[in-house]
């Protein structure tokens, strides 16, 4: 059971619909983002705007963050105007971001020193899942705190998992993203191969969709239409997530050569300036390597 207002920090593409679903579930929210205009939709739903993470922590005993990555989470928790500067002992802090398990463990220890319990609770399902409250939520940390927060997780997701100790939620999120992002690069590579070999990629996709490759080639409409702009999840964020998964693999001493190859494709696309496009924009890099015109898909003249 959660009493009093909830502080929600980070109202981006996924944070905003998650926060909105909490409001619709009957919770009182105090919200903050570096760009206050990103909070406007939530203010219209009845949220109250705060001036800093510290200010939210002074008025809320439960804080949630949805942020780009480890540096932002660390700053929001430990910074001069961070959560721990305003939180009272007994508060709970829930990080919904994608993070490194090692960073989570360190931040959870710092929070515990201040009497604050931290849960790592990354989510999966994208913007559509956030809007429809169908996300998968994977939680690590104190089990009693998890049970206390369960109604919040169920307000934003259909599949809620308690994974165990601090950092385990972050770990399984990176493992999940390692699979999804790496597999996606195989699909991109295959469709470029089809084009290079003289086969219409759309026809190749139609066959794969009803064959053994079917489970891996879904949601390819924008890829086939070469619509790489206006993404809800950018190539830059994908590279960040897969890079974190690579770091976890190195730390654990687990080989991950296929994920490393997919990460290399993302990094090469970043180097071409495609970071703000969708993840499938690696198509342009594969086409370049195949000697194809990225604009038309035709083989370049020698």
What is the DSSP track for the chain?
---S-EEEE--STTHHHHHHHHHHTT--EEEE-SSGGGGHHHHHTT-EE-SSHHHHHHH-SEEEE--SSHHHHHHHHHSTTSGGGTPPTT-EEEE-S---HHHHHHHHHHHHHTT-EEEE--EESHHHHHHHT-EEEEEES-HHHHHHHHHHHHHHEEEEEEEESTTHHHHHHHHHHHHHHHHHHHHHHHHHHHHHTT--HHHHHHHHHTSTTGGGS-S-HHHHTT--SS-SSBHHHHHHHHHHHHHHHHHHT---HHHHHHHHHHHHHHHTT-TTSBGGGHHHHHHHHTTB-TTT-PBPP-
First to last CA, the chain: 68
Residues noted as catalytic: 173
Backbone angles phi and psi of 119, in degrees to 5:
-115, 135
Beta strand pairing call for 62-65 and 48-49: unpaired
């Amino acid at each position: 059971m959660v009493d009093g207002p909830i502080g929600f920090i980070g109202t981006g593409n996924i944070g905003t619909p998650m926060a909105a679903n909490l409001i619709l579930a009957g919770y009182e929210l105090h919200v903050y983002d570096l760009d206050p205009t990103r909070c406007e939709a939530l203010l219209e739903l009845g949220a109250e705007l705060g001036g800093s993470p510290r200010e939210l922590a002074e008025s809320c005993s439960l804080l949630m963050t949805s942020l780009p990555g480890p540096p932002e989470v660390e700053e929001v928790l430990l910074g001069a105007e961070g959560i721990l500067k305003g939180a009272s002992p007994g508060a709970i802090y829930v990080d919904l971001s994608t993070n490194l398990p090692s960073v989570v463990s360190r931040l959870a220890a710092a929070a515990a020193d201040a009497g604050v319990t931290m849960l790592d609770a990354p989510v999966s399902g994208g913007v559509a899942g956030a809007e429809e409250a169908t996300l998968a939520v994977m939680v690590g940390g104190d089990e009693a705190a998890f049970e206390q927060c369960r109604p919040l997780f169920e307000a934003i997701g259909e599949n809620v998992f308690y994974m165990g100790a601090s950092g385990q939620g972050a770990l399984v999120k990176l493992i999940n993203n390692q699979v999804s992002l790496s597999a996606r690069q195989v699909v991109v590579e295959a469709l470029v191969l089809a084009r290079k070999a003289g086969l219409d990629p759309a026809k190749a996709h139609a066959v794969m969709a009803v064959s053994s490759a079917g489970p891996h080639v879904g949601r390819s409409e924008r890829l086939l239409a070469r619509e790489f702009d206006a993404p809800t999840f950018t190539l830059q964020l994908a590279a960040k997530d897969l890079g974190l998964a690579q770091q976890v693999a190195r730390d654990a001493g687990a080989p991950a050569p296929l994920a490393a190859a997919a990460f290399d494709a993302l990094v090469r696309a970043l180097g071409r300036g495609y970071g703000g496009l969708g993840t499938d924009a690696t198509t342009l890099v594969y086409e370049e390597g195949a000697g194809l015109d990225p604009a038309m898909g035709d083989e370049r003249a020698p």
